[in-house]
Amino acid sequence: MENNTKTLTGTAKEVVLAFVDALNKEDFTEAGTFLTSNMTFNGVLGTRDGAEAYMSDMEKMKFKYDIKKTIAEQNDVCLFCDIGMGAVTIDSCLWYHIKEGKISSLKAIFDPRPVLEQKK
């Protein structure tokens, strides 16, 4: 995560939307610049500590995000979106917290049944 020292400007909403755009373009180096090195991820199917661990997963999974609604309040941004996970698409709610211009935490909420059924 060498580029993680990049200084970012913009609102919390702009940071999150730029991050998701980079993920959708599979520009994982750019996406990593929007994360604090110690960012945390808390999801339905697991957790990750640190930007490096999180981005390693994102590079493998290559999710595609179709944003339906964005709600921003100060340093918090919530996205309602469909996430393409290969053969399945799930309705999701993603809650990002921004600290000093970068994403410091992400909480993902979704119904995991389509993902779990795919693994059968």
Report helix, strand or coil for 46: strand
Instruction: Quote the domain boundaries for residue 80.
Output: 2-118
Report, as an integer, the average pLDDT of 18-34.
98
pLDDT at 6 (0 to 100): 53
pLDDT at 4 (0 to 100): 46
Residue 56, pLDDT > 50, answer: yes
pTM, entire model: 0.91
pLDDT at 118 (0 to 100): 81
Say which DSSP state 45 is in: T
pLDDT at 66 (0 to 100): 98
CATH code for position 88: 3.10.450.50
Per the structure, the count of domains in the chain is 1
CA–CA separation, 120 vs 118, rounded Å?
6
